[in-house]
Structure formats: C-alpha cells, structure tokens
Structure 1
Amino acid sequence: MEIGWTGDAELVHAVGRVFRSTGAAAAVAVITPQGGLTATVGADHHSTFEIGSISKALTGMLYRDATERSLVSQTTILRDLLPLEGHGKVGSVRLSSLSIHRSGLPGLPPGMHALRRTVDFWFRGQNPYGDSLADLLEQTRNVRVGSARPRYSNLGFQLLGHAVAQGAATSYERLLHEVLGEGFSTPIRADDLGPMDLTGFSRFGRPLPAWVGEGLAPAGGVRATIGTMRGFLSSILDGSARGLSALEPVSKYSSRVGIGAGWITLEFQGRAITWHNGSTGGFSSWIGLDRDAGVGVVVLAAMHGSVDRQGFRLLTEFAASRRSAIVSR
C-alpha cells in the first residue's frame, strides 16, 4: 500500500492496490448505494484541485438545465447571446452542436497566438489560458468553421459556457454556483488563489503555474475539493442534480463512444460507463459512473499525467463488489 493515504479504510486499501507512488497530492471519492468513501494523500478535504476538462461535463449540465428552464434552446446560436457580429460563421454555430463536439470549430483558436502559447507552456511551463472573455471573443474573428463532424474542442466549450451564462443573465461562475453548488471556483487570476489551492506539478516533478482565466473556465478552469466532487457525484447518482439529461448520449462520437452534453459514454468490461477526464499543466482528474450499479468514482491528482486507468479500475472494482453483494442476499 502507498504510504500516506488516509481516509475510509476500504478505499485506502483499494487505492493502495491501484496507485503507484508519485509523491503528488491526490484524492479519491467513491459513492455506492451504501454511502460515500474518501481517501487522500498529501491533501485534505479542504485542498482544492484543478479538475481540467471535467469542467466540460459541468458546462454540459448547465446547458441542459438552461434548456429545461427555457433560458436557451438547442437551436439558439452563439450570436444570439454573445457579441460576435463581424466574426464570420462562428456566430451561427448552434449551442447543441457545441455540446456534443460537432460544431466544426477547432480545438483552439488558430494562428501564431496559439503557437506562441503552446511553446510557452511546453518550454516555460506558462499558463496558456489567461484570457478574459473579451479576449476569447476577439480570438474567434478569424476562426474557420469546418464540417459538423466529431472534433474535440476546448474553444467550443469555452463559448458554450459563456453563452449559456449570458442566456441566464449572469456570469459563468455564478451560474455554476446556482445550478451545481457553491463549492466550485473559477479563479481568474493567480492572485485569486488561496492557501488551500494546491500547486500542480509536471510529470517530472516541476511545479507549474495555475491554469486560471475567465475565458478558460467552462472548458477547463474549474477548481474543486474532493468533498465538493463527492457531493456532486452523489447528487448525480441520487437524481437530485440539475441538468442530468446531459449524461444521456444523444450522438455518436466514434464507433464505440457516445456523447451527451459533454459527458462521454462507452462500454467497459461489459458495463455502460458514463465519464469524463481532465488534464491541465499540473493536474489530472477523472470522474465516472456505473449508473446501473449506482456507483461512481472521482480521482484528483496534483500532477500532470492520466489517471484514467486508476479511475476505471476503481469503478470496476466497487461496481463488481456491489453486484456481488446483491447476488449473495
């Protein structure tokens, strides 16, 4: 077992089998019909992690909740909500296509601006996403809208989240708090971070600047504690969360993968799994649910590098133990 993990004994034992020693702060939460379990190492329940692209799953739920409240519709276009006059075809993109990564938008705004950011990140460790919303909108002026085929787009979810917030006459962070809870944060500047906001590290152990920025928030700029993520996961499984239709697949992302509003679905070891992962410069994350078994898992780590394998394995183990308990009754 990895030394340092603390929390519920059953989960500590499970993560000890699944995680290799990295030296990074990490936290895991599991929800089953019998209750919730939490384990941490190098962190506690008040430590805040960057959750990366799990932010897109949250944004998908905000979008679906807004459609259910008739604040926006699936046929609403970006130009109806954001000041995109003179930005070419970007303004005509529908919210529904953004939510399933079929908008025709690139992953990031193109051009030398994006190239410089990529270089600054890979060689200097700098945050590539410090833009304001106004900056983000300006970067869309020369974006070419391609065919409506599956293409993962950070830019698309950035625009989706801010458009939905405008439809609700508020900011993205306020909408996030209203719909999904106060525990999430979307820091705009490094100065907004507090003592409980963890520092992330590269896979080689190098400390990296936080990924903060108003424009980034809906696609990858949300932070949360393991307690917040555990509560969020529980609300999905007990059906009390708003925007739950986001988890239902409405389109094919690939031959074996479906997609709802941000949320991904696939068959894994014969089970239907609904999930999303995340990665920033110094953090990795994973959330997944076996909804038929009533089991969910969240993994957060303050180090760059996928935790997908750990997440899928823990979900499989706890879902299998749940099914075994039912059979043995």
Structure 2
Amino acid sequence: MKLIAVLLAVALAAGGWLIRPGALHLAESSTGDAELQRFIDDNYEGPGHRLSVAVVEDTTTRYAGRGTDEHGSFEIGSISKALTGILLGEAVRRGEVKLDQQVGSLLPLDGSDVATVTLEELATHQSGLPNTTGKPLPAARAMLANLSAGNPYPFSVDQLLDQARSAGTDGRGKSTYSNLGGALLGQALAKQAGKSYPDLLQERVFQPLGMRESRTPTSDDGAAPEGYGSGGRRQGTWVQTGYAPAGGVVSTAADLAVLAKALISGKYVEALAPRRDFDEDRIGLFWITTPLPNDRSMIWHNGGTGGYRSFIGVDLERRRAVVVLSDVAADADDFATKLLEAS
C-alpha cells in the first residue's frame, strides 16, 4: 500500500508538471533609469516577469525594474553561498577558524568521511561531497517537491548533518559543485559562533553594510513572493533551514548593490581571492573569477531556485558591478555579463 501511495503521488505530481501555462513576458510597468530600460528592451531574451537590475559604477548606482523596483524581494539562491564565503573570510580574519581546519572539529560528524574535509575544500567545491543527499527518503522527498513545484530543501540542521555523515567524498580534490557542502560550511560557522545561520549573517554582513532588506527566512512569513518556472508554472517558495547557507537568502537589487559597492571598495578580499582551479575558471571562497576581454576578469556568483534566477558580477579594474534578479527560473547570466561589459 505504501508503494502504491508513493507511485500515485509521483504520478499526480508529474501530471501537474506536464500542465504548462503559456510563456511569460516581462511586465510592462517600468521603474528607474531610462537608459537601463532600453538595454533591457534590446538585450533581455527569454521568458520574464518581474525583473530588477542594478549597475554600480564606482560610487554611483542606477536601477531599472519591470513589474517592481529595486526594493522588490527575490530569492537569490546560490548567491547565498557567496555570502557564506564572506562569513568564512571574516571568521578567518577574526582568528576564529582556519581554512585548513577540518569541519569535523566544528560539527558532530562522528568520524564520517566528511569529518576530515577542510573548510577551504568546502568553500571551493573540492570536498568530494555530492550536490545533494543520495539517501533514498530525502532524495525521494526532494524529487517529489521538484515535480510538484515545491521546496526540495525543507531539511533541518540535524537532517543536513545526517545527510553529510552518510555522503561519500570519493571525488575529493576535484571540482564538484555541492549544495550539501555549502550548507555544511555555513552551519559549521554558525555553530562555532554559537548562533543560528540567519542571525550570524545578519550580524556580520547585513547589519554592518546596511543591507536592511535582506534576510534568511525561517518561515513563510519572511519568504519572497512565489516565482515562476521557465514555462510559466507558479513555483512554491524555498524556505530553508539546514540548507539556508547554500540557497536560502532573500534580498533586493538595492541591497546587493550595497554589497557590490563594498566589494569594489576593497572589502572582503579574503573571500574573493582566487585559490583553486574551478573547471575553466578560478574560485575563491565560493566567489568565481572568470576572464574577460582585454586582460580583465569578472568576480561573480549566480543563483537559482524553482522560481528565481539571480546574478552578481564585479569588474574590480573598471570599478563596475551589476546585479540582475528575476522571478522566473530562466538563465540570466549572459544578459548580466553583457550588461557588466557594456560601456
């Protein structure tokens, strides 16, 4: 009977997934800078709905929005990892942890394979951990959530630790993108500080920078509005606890522009500095460095959830940065990179 119930649930969820609404288009209502609006009109491709864009040039910031303004809330997905990388850099600077410190010294990982992985390996995606858990029940739960447009990461901190203990690290030393590793690192830093991850991020990043619109929701009360899949289907919000350091932050273009200004001014260099190869790029503490034309480079991170895409990129040489936030799960990286390189 249990197997039948599971199969029925899968069938119903899959049936709902197959009912795909019509394609989305960017909202007609616009706010902000007229030149940026023209750039959006000329260069943004693919499905869209709400879109919020910021361009930072030295100390000046311009915004443009479609269906929202720079204060509209968006799930920023894996840009949360970039924030966790900043927390790691700050903890190292304070002398609280070391990059070569084993994560098992901070979390109860019970002599498992992952216990000997270092904080730097977690932050550079070289821990050998898989992207997410392979345990049957949590994996099935996540699959059903994806099929039903729900939250695939509803796990508590204790559940995250249980998943990490059972995960192998066979690919250790090689680049393997891992949400599990990003979440584990953030929870280790929170445990060391004696705080929850949301409180630690507020205390050490959001409050000092004045990012008053950013948060890490622990319930639906603080969540962003529901977003959309690339085919137009409404997606449930992703409120995360255990996995919050890997993808649970909600922010705005205005707040991420504040962060970009801080990076341009020379703050958080510990997190940005490239440390290891990452495919064809280089990676620092989650922040990726990619070559640009004319011997320049872009330091960046992107993010995605069931109903959102996000991007923050910085060209330190030109003292220019961009933020792009969309409430549709369609890639925005090419658009954001083109905006960063624009004159």
What TM-score results when the alignment is normalised by the length of structure 1? Answer: 0.90
User: Is 2:142–2:151's contact at 8 Å kept on the other side of the alignment?
Assistant: no
Residues 2 and 144 of structure 1: CA distance in aligned 2, closer, same or farther (over 3 Å): closer
- Give the 3-state SS of the residue equivalent to 1:140 in structure 2: helix
The aligned residue for residue 238 of structure 2 is 211
2:161 counterpart of 1:161: no
Query: Are 2:137 and 1:113 equivalent residues in the alignment?
Result: yes
Q: 1:325 matched to which residue of 2?
A: none
Does 2:302 correspond to 1:277? Answer: yes
Which residue is equivalent to 2:216? 186
* Equivalent residue for 1:90, pick from 114, 127, 130: 114
Which secondary structure does the structure 1 equivalent of 2:166 belong to? coil
Following TM superposition, by how much is the alpha carbon of 1:229 offset from its aligned partner in structure 2, in angstroms? Answer: 0.9
* Alpha-carbon separation, structure 2, partners of 1:176 and 1:13: 36
CA separation in 2, counterparts of 1:21 and 1:139? 36
Q: Percent identity?
A: 37
Q: Name which of 255, 270, 276 aligns with 1:228.
A: 255
Contact between 1:47 and 1:198, CA under 8 Å: does it hold in 2?
no
Distance 1:59 1:105 in 2: 17
Letter in 2 for 1:10: E
Are the equivalent residues in 2 in contact too, given 1:29–1:38 (CA < 8 A)? Answer: yes
Name the amino acid aligned to 1:175. L
Shift of 1:121: 3.4
Contact 2:228 2:307 in 1 (8 A): yes
Instruction: Using the TM superposition, give the Cα deviation of residue 137 of structure 1 relative to its aligned residue in structure 2, in angstroms.
Output: 0.8
Among candidates 32, 35, 41, match of residue 66 of structure 2: 41
How far is the alpha carbon of 1:46 from its aligned partner? Answer: 2.9
The residue aligned with 2:196 is 171
Per-residue Cα deviation, 1:143-202 (whole angstroms, up to 9, x for no partner): 112132111111001000111122222221122112221432111222443xxx322111
SS at match of 1:141: helix
In structure 1, list runs of 5 or more residues that go unmatched.
Answer: 322-329
Work out the CA distance in 2 between the residues paired with 1:264 and 1:108: 21
8 Å contact from structure 2 (residues 27, 50) kept in 1: no
**Residue 22 (str. 1) matches residue 52 (str. 2):** no
Supply the distance in 2 between the matched residues of 1:192 and 1:14 (Cα, whole angstroms). 32
Shift of 1:3: 3.6
Q: CA deviation at 1:57?
A: 0.8
Two-structure CA RMSD over aligned residues (Å): 1.8
Equivalence map 1:218-257=2 (5 Å): 218-239=245-266, 241=267, 243-254=268-279, 256-257=280-281
Checking the alignment, whether the CA contact within 8 Å between 1:55 and 1:219 is kept in structure 2 is: yes
CA distance in 1, matches of 2:141, 2:330: 20
2:162 is aligned with 1:104: no
Cα distance in 1, alignment partners of residues 124 and 59 from structure 2:
33
What's the CA shift string for 1:178-235, capped at 9, x where partnerless? 2221432111222443xxx322111111111111111121111111011111111111
Q: 1:245 Cα shift?
A: 1.7
Q: Indicate whether 1:299 and 2:324 are aligned.
A: yes
| Alignment partner of 1:133 is 2:163 | no
Which residue pairs with 1:198 in the alignment? Answer: 225
User: What SS does the aligned partner of 2:165 have?
Assistant: coil
Deviations 1:7-41 (A, max 9, x none): 02222222222213734111000100261001111
Runs of at least 4 residues of structure 1 off by over 6 A?
none
Task: Find the partner of 2:106 among 58, 81, 84.
Answer: 81
1:315 maps to amino acid: L
How far apart in 2 are the matches of 1:230 and 1:209? 26
Residue 32 (str. 1) matches residue 62 (str. 2): no
Of 267, 279, 289, the match for 1:265: 289
Whether contact under 8 Å (1:99, 1:260) holds in the other structure is yes
The answer (yes or no) to whether the contact 1:108–1:114 under 8 Å persists in 2 is no
Aligned-partner SS, 2:310: strand
Q: Is the 8 A contact 1:2 1:21 kept in 2?
A: no
1:143 corresponds to: 167
Cα distance in 2 for residues equivalent to 1:58 and 1:134: 22
What is the CA deviation profile of residues 228-248 of structure 1, one whole-angstrom value per residue up to 9, with x for unaligned ones? Answer: 111111111122x4x332111
